[in-house]
Structures are given as structure tokens and as C-alpha cells.
Amino acid sequence: MNYKLFIGRSFATIDVVLKKSNLKIINNKYPWGRDFVFDLKRLFDGDINIIVDAGANIGSVASDFSYYFPQAKILAFEPIISTFEKLKRKCSIKKNILPVHSALGESNYEIEIPLNTEDTINSILSAPQEHQFSGYETIRVQSLASYAENHSIEKIDILKIDVEGYEFKVLEGAQHFIINSIKAIVLEVGYERSSNKVHFSDVEIYMEKYGFQCCGIYDLSKSRDKKRLYYSNSLYIRKSLL
């Protein structure tokens, strides 16, 4: 094994063990801004009941939410059938995760989308990538408001979104909860204008309008030449809770 890879994996394992140790000194001293799920746990421990993961993929983030918020119900939305099956298998023993075979958007409809061999970049907005194109699939889209009404959900506490440029459509369909109940929103933002990333400045304007403040930038990725910011996960907290 490459020694750099070995060292990286070793440090990652130690990092996970420390965070899951539940030691008071780790909760107090662990650096903020490295793990948004762990930071949310420290901010809202015991005060979270419903978490929505839009674009759950195979459930890595949903699994972290499940561990740090065992009292909460995690709704993990994933529309691509092959990825959804992986999500179900990964989360089958986690009783507080509910996989939902659907995308979230601004309203309810079905749409055909191109599939990529790399399932993390599948998007309603993406054009077929010749070197990665693997076919088409018709997916179901529904608004969070519609899903909540059909399942008697009155409040959402945390909304995580990673939908490759479709974030504002998800926010539009979740507006009732953004106004009334959501404590924190985590979403992927881009720093260059493109079809598969919502731009950081546009997200800032939207969040300011609805009373949220950026409190953390996570998983920051730079361009291949390392000269420009490419994308990150940004954490927004309702200002009245700060």
C-alpha cells in the first residue's frame, strides 16, 4: 500500500474514533469546521427529531447522522434505482434511517435523466457525458412539502442537500419548513458558474433573505491547478439560534 494512503487512512480512523469516544474534552476541543455532522451534533445534541438528506447517494452522510442523532428520524432521498438499492443495503441495520426512492424538487413530476458511471454526479440538470454516459432513467421528483403532507410531518430540523445544481429547486419545495422550523441547512455550493453547482454568492443572498447565516465551510475542493476554489459544503444556521 502507498505509504501516504496508509498514513491518511490511519489518521482518518483515529479521527473517527476520537469523535465517537464521547469524551467531554473531544467535544470541547475538537476543531470546528472539519465535520459538519459532528459540529451539528455539538450544536443541537438532543434537540433534533427529523433530518432530511436530499441526494443521499449510498448513505454515507445519512449513516453519520444516524450515529450522532440516534433519537432522530433520517429521511434519505435517492432517485436512481441502482444507487437506491445500495442505500437500502447500507442502511438496513440503521433503524432510524428511512430510504425514500425519489428526488426532491420544487413540485411533483417524473423526468428522464442521463446516467453517469460515476453515480455521485448524476443530476436532473446534467447533460450526458460521452466518456461516462451509461443510459437514461426516468425518476420521480416530489417537493418536501408534498412528502411531508402525505406522511404527516409537521417540522423538519436539519436539511442536507447534495443534488448537483438542483439545490434551489429543493429549497423551493421546502420553503414552508425553511420559514418555520429548519434549524440548519447544509448544501454543496460552487465558486465558479456552472450548470451542476449553485453559486456561493447566490446561496448567500437566498440564506440571508430567510434569516440564515453561514457558520462553516467544509470539504473545500480546489480546481485541478489549485489556483481557484471549486466547491464546498456550506453550513447555514438560523440566526435566531446563534
How far is the C-alpha of 122 from the C-alpha of 137, rounded, in Å? 11
Phi, psi angle pair for 99, to nearest 5°: -70, 135
Q: DSSP letter at 60?
A: H
Identify the domain containing residue 24 by its residue range. 1-29
State how many domains the chain has. Answer: 2
Give the residue among 162, 193, 148 at the shortest CA–CA distance from 37.
162
User: How much is the pLDDT for 129?
Assistant: 59
What's the pTM? 0.90
Distances (CA, A) of 119 to 55, 107, 123, 198, 231: 11, 24, 9, 19, 18
Whether residues 91 and 68 fall in one domain? yes
CB 115 within 8 A of CB 79: no
Whether residues 232 and 191 fall in one domain? yes
User: How much is the pLDDT for 123?
Assistant: 62
User: How much is the pLDDT for 115?
Assistant: 81
How far is the C-alpha of 206 from the C-alpha of 67, rounded, in Å? 30
Cα three-residue angle 184-65-72, rounded to 5 degrees = 80
Name residue, grid cell 441495520: 93
User: Is residue 134 a part of any domain in this protein?
Assistant: no
Whether residues 42 and 61 fall in one domain? yes
User: Is residue 114 a part of any domain in this protein?
Assistant: no
User: Is residue 95 a part of any domain in this protein?
Assistant: yes
User: How much is the pLDDT for 131?
Assistant: 60
Residue pLDDT tens, the chain, 242 long? 566 655 667 667 777 877 887 778 888 889 888 999 999 999 998 899 999 999 999 999 999 999 999 999 999 999 999 999 999 999 999 999 999 999 999 999 999 988 877 666 666 656 555 566 667 889 999 999 999 999 999 999 999 999 988 999 999 999 999 999 999 999 999 999 988 899 999 999 999 999 999 999 999 999 888 889 999 999 999 999 99
User: How much is the pLDDT for 43?
Assistant: 95
Whether residues 78 and 3 fall in one domain? no
- Give the CATH number, domain containing residue 194: 3.40.50.150
User: How much is the pLDDT for 219?
Assistant: 94
